[in-house]
Amino acid sequence: MNKIAVVTGGAGGIGQAVAERLATDQCSVILLDINDDAGNQVVADFRKRGVEVIFLCADLSQEAQVEATFAKIKSSQGRVDILVNVAGGSMHRHKFEDFPVKNWQAVIDANLTSTFLCCRAVVGMMKAQKSGAIVNISSDIAFSGSENRSAYAAAKAGVLGLTKTLALELATFGVRVNAVAPGRIDTPRVRASYTESDWQEANKRIPMGHPGAVEDVAEAVAYLASDAAKHVTGQTLHVNGGRIMH
């Protein structure tokens, strides 16, 4: 039986790579994203390569939309075996004393609240199944901090605390919960926040000398979601070229 995998933020660079990687493991993949046009384009692009995925549009920071979306998945698929929470982003950057509360809340909701809501939506199913794997995407910034990105650092650190707590609560039910903490990954969205000279200079600060690729994150996710990691829970796998060793 194919495993049912749900990937949030599925229209983004990392989300697409995770979806494609899980599909090679014979998973039936459902992508969730707030961007309807981008999500449908991803489905069309995948189909051209012979990969069939399902896309559902939802704002995952909104409780009612998350509950309705996962109810639809449960009704159509009957189960969820893998949940990968990729949705998020740093979005707003301000000096701490100038950080507007509405922008702070938007970053927390996009990264942490969405992860909480999606995890909560599948926990009942996974406990009943006595199996399941959740992989939450954090960031190396959860460990290092980052100037003018206090909300993002706090949200991604919160994802780690949530991951460990869920791992403890679900361990006796055969459900595993882990995190991946990417460093700088070469995606169009990340690249757009740098000038070319700043990008090259930033890469020099990575011991391996270059940023990661989306496939690097996808491979880490695939391992943690697979039976190869059946005795791994509550852990964070770092994918950062040696920038942070923890």
Residues annotated as part of the active site: 152
CB atoms within 10 A of CB 208: 12
| Amino acid at position 178, single letter | N
Q: Is 216 helix (H, G, I), strand (E, B) or coil?
A: helix
With contact defined as beta carbons under 8 Å apart, do 7 and 51 qualify? no
| Distance between CA atoms of residues 182 and 164, nearest Å | 17
| Distance between CA atoms of residues 16 and 215, nearest Å | 9
Of the candidates 66, 74, 182, which has an alpha carbon nearest to the alpha carbon of residue 135? 182
| Distance between CA atoms of residues 81 and 159, nearest Å | 20
